[in-house]
Amino acid sequence: MLLVEEELSGILEKRLSGGRISKEEAYRLLLSGSLFSLGEAADRLREKSCGDRVSYVVNRNINFTNICTGSCSFCAYRVRKGDPSGYLMSHERILRLVEEAVAVGATEVCIQGGLNPDIGIDYYTGMLETITSSFDIHIHAFSPMEVFYMAEKSGLGIAETLRLLKEKGLGSMPGTAAEILDREVREEICPRKITAEEWVDIVKTAHHLGIPTTATMLYGHVERPEHRINHLDIIRRIQDETGGFTEFVPLSFVHYNTPLGKANPEAHGASGLEDLMVHAISRLFLDNIPNIQASWVKLGWKLAQTALFFGANDLGGTLMDESISRAAGQKVSMMDEAQMRRLIEDVGRKPARRDTLYRFLE
C-alpha cells in the first residue's frame, strides 16, 4: 500500500493541527516507510506537549522471584520450581533493597516477579505492609498477569484483589504483560497468559479504583504491522474511557537468549529504524497520552537518546538492578542518576526528575 507524498502530508498536518488520526491512517503511515517525515512530526508534537524537558524517575527495580509457572516464549528470565538458580526473596531481603534505594534518593520501587507456585496473596500483601511500615516510597508493582494470578489463587476476584493491594500500599501498576493485545499473536508467544480481554479488564478496573498504570507494547517478534496499530488503538480507547495511563512504553523485543529467539529466526527483534518508527507512530497516534517513554534497557543508551527526537519525552527509571532484559541478552542494565542526566544533556535537552505520576521534583 503506497502512500503518496500529498496523502502523507495531509495526515500529518491533520494531527499537527490537533486532529485525531484514524487506525487506517496510522496503518498507512506505518507502512509508508517515511521515517523522517513521521519523526519530524512526532518531534513537533513532543515539543508542543512536553517542551525540551526529558523526564526520568529515580527508582529501583526489584524482581522478587524468577520461579514461574508461565511459559512465555519471549522470556529468558523464568526458571521452573526446583531449578538450582531459582530464588524467592524474603520480605526482609526486599526491605533491605528498598532501604538501599531510599539511601540513594529513590522515590519509587518497581516490583515484579514470576508466577511462583509457592506464594499466595499473603506474600504480596505482606510485602506491601513490610515496605510501607518502614518507608514512605511509591510502590509501583505487579503486572496485570500477577494480579490475575493472585485473584485466581485467593478466589477474591480482580476488583477485590486490587482493592486489597491498594489498601496495603500499592500506588500504581506497570502495564506489562500486554505484549501484543491480539488473540492470534498471544496464542503463538504466550498461550498460557491472560487474554487480551482480561488484560484490558484488569487495567480498566485498576483505573476505576484509582490505581494508575503504564501501558506497554512488546514488538519486534512475530507480530505484523496491523497488530501494532490494533494494539495502539486498544490503548487509546482505554485512555479515552479512564484517563488512567501515565505513559506509553514501547518495548523492543530482546531476543538473544529467549526460547522464541532461538526457535524462530524471524523473531530476531526490530531494527533500529523500526524502533524509531514505533516511537514516532506512538506519539502520532496516542493523542491522549502525553508521555512516550524510550526504554534504555531495551534500546540501549544511544538509540534511546535518538528516540528523544522521534516522539519520546521520557527515559524511564534509573532502575539500579535490571534482571529481565539482562537475562534475555541485553548488555545495558545499569544506570545512576548522574549518567541519566548526562545522556539527556548530551543531546541538548533538559533533564527533569519526576515522580511515578509525572509530578516534577525540580
The window from 68-76, 129-137, 159-167, 257-265 that contacts ligand SF4 (CB under 6 A) reads 68-76
For 175, the grid coordinates are: 502495564
For 136-189, the DSSP string reads: --EEEE--HHHHHHHHHHHT--HHHHHHHHHHTT--BB---S-SS--HHHHHHH
**Cβ proximity to ligand SF4, 106 vs 145, nearer residue:** 145
Contact status, residue 238 vs residue 198, Cβ threshold 8 Å: no
Query: Of the candidates 194, 259, 250, 256, which has an alpha carbon nearest to the alpha carbon of residue 219?
Result: 250
Is there binding between residue 114 and ligand SF4 (CB under 6 A)? yes
- Shortest reach from residue 83's CB to ligand SF4, in Å: 13
Is there binding between residue 151 and ligand SF4 (CB under 6 A)? no
d(CA 171, CA 211): 6
Is there binding between residue 62 and ligand SF4 (CB under 6 A)? no
d(CA 27, CA 24): 5
Query: Of the candidates 112, 110, 187, which has an alpha carbon nearest to the alpha carbon of residue 150?
Result: 112
- Shortest reach from residue 211's CB to ligand SF4, in Å: 20
- Shortest reach from residue 160's CB to ligand SF4, in Å: 22
The window from 33-41, 64-72, 154-162, 311-319 that contacts ligand SF4 (CB under 6 A) reads 64-72
Contact status, residue 190 vs residue 156, Cβ threshold 8 Å: no
**Cβ proximity to ligand SF4, 68 vs 203, nearer residue:** 68
Is there binding between residue 70 and ligand SF4 (CB under 6 A)? yes
**Cβ proximity to ligand SF4, 146 vs 247, nearer residue:** 146
- Out of 145, 173, 194, 203, point to the residue binding ligand SF4 (CB under 6 A): 145
Is there binding between residue 77 and ligand SF4 (CB under 6 A)? yes
**Cβ proximity to ligand SF4, 72 vs 235, nearer residue:** 72
Contact status, residue 166 vs residue 129, Cβ threshold 8 Å: no
- Out of 3, 94, 115, 128, point to the residue binding ligand SF4 (CB under 6 A): 115
For 304-321, the DSSP string reads: HHHHTTTT--EEEE--S-
**Cβ proximity to ligand SF4, 295 vs 305, nearer residue:** 295
> Total residues contacting ligand SF4 (rule CB under 6 A)?
9
Q: What angle do CA 339, 342, 346 make, to 5 degrees?
A: 145
Residue type (1 letter), 326: R
The window from 7-15, 25-33, 65-73, 283-291 that contacts ligand SF4 (CB under 6 A) reads 65-73
- Out of 78, 207, 231, 326, point to the residue binding ligand SF4 (CB under 6 A): 78
**Cβ proximity to ligand SF4, 132 vs 323, nearer residue:** 323
The window from 21-29, 41-49, 52-60, 73-81 that contacts ligand SF4 (CB under 6 A) reads 73-81
d(CA 102, CA 62): 13
d(CA 104, CA 172): 21
Query: Of the candidates 209, 271, 279, 214, which has an alpha carbon nearest to the alpha carbon of residue 59?
Result: 214
Residues that bind ligand SF4 (CB under 6 A): 68, 70, 72, 75, 77-78, 114-115, 145
